[in-house]
Chain A
């Protein structure tokens, strides 16, 4: 079939132009992300396993039990997750994937952090401004329906191979829920509370910081949870462009047809996912 419009060619031209003209920007981003990832993973690995385990256990317990930390009810609520954290992390450690797991955690945290830093303000903008919302909405739809592999192509193009393109592709993939849930959260703040604030002379800034964001916080935290899970689900794909961690072990397992390796590292990802999900979800479920 003959092609009438060569859309891909124009996109290629556009991306080429971007690459050439803003190379300083890409380099800066690359440097920034690489530096952060390297240092953070080094930091995580410098913590002895037992100490790290203890920290995660405490965090998980606090997330679940909250104010009842020192009571019996707290133990009832947090006990299950604590047991899972201990067994799960020990399993990863014992299987010999601790280093990879920390690398993955680093990538996920960095990507999720960037996605939130970008996504929450965009979400606020979308909630406040109709025009912005009309523009942002289809872009988010586009981002979410586009197969994740496609993001790898420009990522490689701008940042060659390594952790950075992996993080960038992950950010793009996991950004939408941060925007959507922030916007949803702010929109569902009851109008009467906002009006009350206005009647007492609140500025727009005060309304945002003192009323809207606190009331939207549970929804925004659900967004945080979703962002982290999506970021984690990208680790295998990101490893295709050279990102390190458990994802790359799974990828090796696929390439070498190594069932043992693939299963073990896959299980590691699942364990990380469950721990991160339960902890962030508990924070989201807590009332503001």
Chain B
């Protein structure tokens, strides 16, 4: 497990400490064995107890979509149910706004479920005998809100999820995607800070699923909830998650952004998991570039210095920046600089080739690929504000990144690149 970077400007909404959940009768014994470092299999054999979650530690920040990902049996659904104690943790703590939920009494727990966290389920969990409006208002009804008020809120929530006009229908008359929108509306109507979504879109058709993901992101932009989202679908995790936590057999394998996980998988398991992902759309210039490349300052560095620098670096060209702000200007090539030197020119400006593409650090491989075709120099990565040169992305690294997937288009690119350019 990689330890998380502690971002100081972020507010921690949920903090889970050493959370362990054991299924079975001899929990105490099993817990002791776990403390001593016994494996899941050993514990199962000796105590007939299954370790659902083993010492999980993580934090969820305010306003983020925190995706918990794993295959079935990885403990992710068990974990999310520990957050509102639908599952009772065997050991460990769950802090919500710095208060330990695991120590709360029944009444307090009910209030947390009613006012602080709401949940969306894979199987929707709608009441078949209630209308869509009544279903959306159900959480408010349980709270004891007066009918008029709760229906007003439910109506607004239904409008948010795009179900206006369906209030009087019954769930059985609706498609899966629509039913889940009701489930989402029910959770939104409660207007809780935390939203727990347990495989919320997993039961839906791919197209509807993608539609719902977009809808969720759209809504999230507006409401800025803290969302814990469970899924077994990596594409979904990448699409939705600000951060992703990968679980296997009840153990957290890695926590990080999609890109961190793809570029620096913490274990073989994670590596195998992320292998099939279409990295082209995820890997960005920032992780591909080599930062702080050697460069030339347009005013200060003359042709002679440029030639020397190219010789020591063993390259035929170098990027040129503006002296103070380091704004990227273009490249100079060795041939041109040599000419300048013969003419005894003092400035590099006449050799400067400015008609070159540059990219921002959040450009993806997919976006960068078309820019390199036909060129024989790296892509300059520049700052969004001011155009400061941050680093260079070489064609080789781009192509290697892209060809892991055997894309025909990319193979063509390599052939072309091999012919036209050699450093």
> Interface residue tally of chain B, by bracket?
20 to 34
Given A201-B111, A201-B113, A201-B114, A196 and B142 touching (CB < 8 A)? no
Q: Which residues of A contact B142 (CB under 8 A)?
A: 197, 200-202, 206, 210
> Roughly how many angstroms separate A29 CA and B151 CA in the complex, as a whole number?
47
In the complex, how many angstroms separate the beta carbon of A259 from the nearest chain B beta carbon?
A: 51
Q: In the complex, what's the smallest C-beta–C-beta distance from B131 to chain A, in angstroms?
A: 12
In the complex, the 6 A-B pairs of residues with the closest C-beta atoms, listed nearest first: A196-B125, A201-B114, A201-B113, A199-B119, A200-B139, A288-B129
CB pair A193–B126 under 8 Å, yes or no, is yes
How many Å lie between the Cα of A215 and that of B171 in the bound state?
14
- Chain B hits for A193, CB < 8 A: 125-127
- CB within 8 Å of B: which A187-209 residues: 190, 192-193, 195-203, 206
The total of interchain contacts (Cβ-Cβ below 8 angstroms) comes to: 65
Chain A residues lying within 8 Å of B138, measured Cβ to Cβ, are: 197, 200
Say yes or no: A211 contacts B113, CB within 8 Å.
no
B141 within 8 A of A: yes
A217–B126 Cα distance when bound, in Å, is: 17
Write the nearest CB–CB distance from A66 to chain B, whole angstroms.
15
Residues of A contacting B115 in the complex (Cβ-Cβ under 8 angstroms): 201
Docked CA distance A211–B135 (Å) = 11
- Distance in Å: Cβ of A276 to nearest Cβ of chain B: 25
Contact of A192 among B84, B121, B196 (CB under 8 A): B121
Using CB atoms and an 8 Å cutoff, list the residues of chain B in contact with chain A.
84, 86, 110-115, 118-119, 121-129, 138-139, 141-143, 183, 186, 190, 196
- Residue on A with the closest CB to B113? A201
- The A230-288 residues at the B interface (CB cut-off 8 A) are 287-288
The residue from B122, B128, B143, B183 contacting A201, defined by CB atoms under 8 A apart: B143
A214 at the interface (CB under 8 A from B): yes
| A193-B125, A214-B129 known; A200+B114 contact, CB < 8 A | yes
Q: In whole angstroms, how far apart are the Cα atoms of A197 and B124 in the complex?
A: 11
**How far, in whole Å, are A192 and B142 apart by their CA atoms in the complex?**
17
Residues of B within 8 A of A206 (CB): 142
Q: Which residue of A lies closest to B139 (CB)?
A: A200
A203→B144 CA distance, assembly (Å): 12
**What 12 new A-B contacts, CB under 8 Å, besides A214-B127, A214-B129?**
A196-B183, A198-B86, A199-B113, A200-B113, A200-B118, A200-B186, A201-B111, A201-B112, A210-B127, A210-B141, A210-B142, A287-B129
Question: CA separation between A199 and B187, bound complex, in Å?
Answer: 10
A30 to B115, CA, bound (A): 52
In the complex, are the beta carbons of B139 and A192 less than 8 A apart? no
Cα–Cα distance between A211 and B129 once the two chains are bound (Å):
9
Closest to B144 in A: A206
Interchain Cβ contacts under 8 Å between A and B, 19 examples: A193-B126, A193-B127, A195-B86, A196-B125, A199-B118, A199-B119, A200-B139, A201-B110, A201-B111, A201-B112, A201-B114, A201-B142, A203-B110, A210-B127, A210-B142, A215-B127, A215-B128, A287-B128, A288-B129
